[in-house]
Amino acid sequence: MKEPFVTDIAGLTNETALIGDIQIRSYISSLDEADKLTYIRGNLQTANEGILAGKAATYTSAINQVTGADNNITSAAYYLSRTEDLATAVGDFDSANQKQLSVSMINQGLNKRQKEINEWSNLNKLDTLYFMQVLFVSLSLCGFLAFLSANGTISSYLFAFVSYIIGILAIIVLILRWRYTYLGRDSRYWHKARFANEP
């Protein structure tokens, strides 16, 4: 047959402790005076040893806790020092990066300006080449007319008149190029012009 399930463990434990106390009292009351003193002395010695053992255990536990706390404080101080070192290193890296960015921005501006200067110079050379081509064509025409004049195909007056016209046209092209480049063209951007109302 099954025993009923016990649900009140705390009550059962208290009842068991009371029964144990009653048995100890009845045992002590059954002893004579000499046995009582012997029993009490034995219990006192056991109680003293238990108290000393408890104090030793408490002291050891407290020492271990203090040692653990000291280790934790040492570790926290080490981590704090490392954090400060890392913060300093990050600050150094940040300042170095800021310097590099500053140098990069300056170099970027210099590169852009150098590109503008190179473009202006190259296009100015192309414009000069254009005038040299006009001058070459003009001299070639004058040379051809001089050949015709030397052969007697055209008169010397016609040769002089056409040569002067060609020379004047070449000079006009030169003056117009010079005037626009140095008076009207923007000094920074080749394809822009300066106007009178601009500062």
How large is the average pLDDT for residues 174-189? 83
Asked if 185 and 193 count as a contact pair (C-beta separation under 8 A), the reply is: yes
Q: What pLDDT does 3 receive?
A: 55
Residue 1: pLDDT over 60: no
Q: What pLDDT does 12 receive?
A: 66
Residue 5: pLDDT over 60: no
Q: What pLDDT does 96 receive?
A: 82
Q: What pLDDT does 32 receive?
A: 73
**What is the torsional sign of CA 17, 18, 23, 29?**
positive
Residue 21: pLDDT over 70: no
At 180, is the pLDDT very low, low, confident or very high (cuts 50, 70, 90)?
confident
Q: What pLDDT does 199 receive?
A: 52
Q: What pLDDT does 20 receive?
A: 67
Residue 36: pLDDT over 80: no
DSSP state of 194: -
pLDDT in tens, 120-175: 888 888 888 998 999 999 999 999 999 999 998 889 899 999 999 999 999 999 99
| pTM exceeding the 0.85 threshold for the entire prediction | no
**Among all chains, which residue has been given the structure tokens 């117009």?**
176
pLDDT in tens, 37-86: 777 777 767 767 777 777 778 878 878 888 888 888 888 888 888 888 88
Q: What pLDDT does 146 receive?
A: 92
Average the pLDDT over each of 6-10, 91-95, 113-117, 183-187 and give the range with the smallest value: 6-10
The whole-angstrom separation of Cα 182 and Cα 128 is 13
Q: Where are the domains of the chain?
A: 9-184
